[in-house]
Structure 1
Amino acid sequence: MNVIPYHRFEITSRLKRDDALAAIAAHVEKRQLFNWRWPSSSNDERFSGEVTIDGFSITRILGYRNSFAPVTHGEVHDAGSFSRIVITMRPFIAVLIFCAFFTTLALASLAASVVPGILLLLFLYALVMGGFWLETNKQEQTLRKIFQAM
């Protein structure tokens, strides 16, 4: 686990490039502004986003609210009879803006009183990292299963 909410890894798949793109496309729904959320194990392999000619940009459809869940970008490369998928996970841009604003408030309170400022920073860090890495690990396992990782 990194100390920042950013995760990059590669998957070598038994599937050819076109088959790998078709495999992820079978699990991706079109992005919607509002989704009905209900906790269910059927959500484990459901994503919203888009699949393009050379990659994908997706987020997992969650049955609960997690603002710190990662946005996943993938590039699918041809590797002979296999494919190589390079995946990058990072927080949503709005979350990063929220964190910058919250950090500014914490640093301002640090000037007034050290202990509450430090506690505020630690709370923000734990909140972001916990929410991000919980989902990142689930998504990585799901993507390895979808792409039939070697």
Structure 2
Amino acid sequence: MKYIVLFTLLVSLNAKAQDLKKLKSNSFWVESNHIEPFDFDTFLLKSFKGSRLELICSDNPFLGNKHSYIKYTNIYGIHVKDFLFKDEFQCHSFKKFINSVFPAINENNSVKIQFNKNDGSVEKILLPDLDIYENGDSYYKDVNNKEMANI
């Protein structure tokens, strides 16, 4: 009986420790539903909850920066941190993608970005399933595959 009580107490303490780990996570996600070109060859990404992200890739001719980063502004409008990309190619390919499809980014086609709070880096970027070479054949069809617009 004594061992059953000790085992139950141990399982209970382990579950509470796991809950604390979840609360003190090292990373967080931001989901952007609106992207627009911004100042000096950069892009502004706005989230559902009000935070703003500014994408600034390396070798920007106007800013002269050496590293690619995302400038994070919280929901209160305060610039909190610049999250660095681990490699420059990731930023430039992301910029090329959103430059091609930014008008189609909305609630149904959102961009999700994972940031690491400890080392200040961009961990993951999840892109929506949009074709940058879209010519209108599949974009202008409704549920029954009838043409909605003839362009």
Scaled by the length of structure 2, the TM-score of the pair is: 0.23
Structure of greater relative contact order (alpha carbons < 8 Å, 6+ residues apart): 1
Instruction: Work out which of the two has the higher radius of gyration on C-alpha atoms and give 1 or 2.
Output: 2
Scaled by the length of structure 1, the TM-score of the pair is: 0.23
Higher helix share: 1
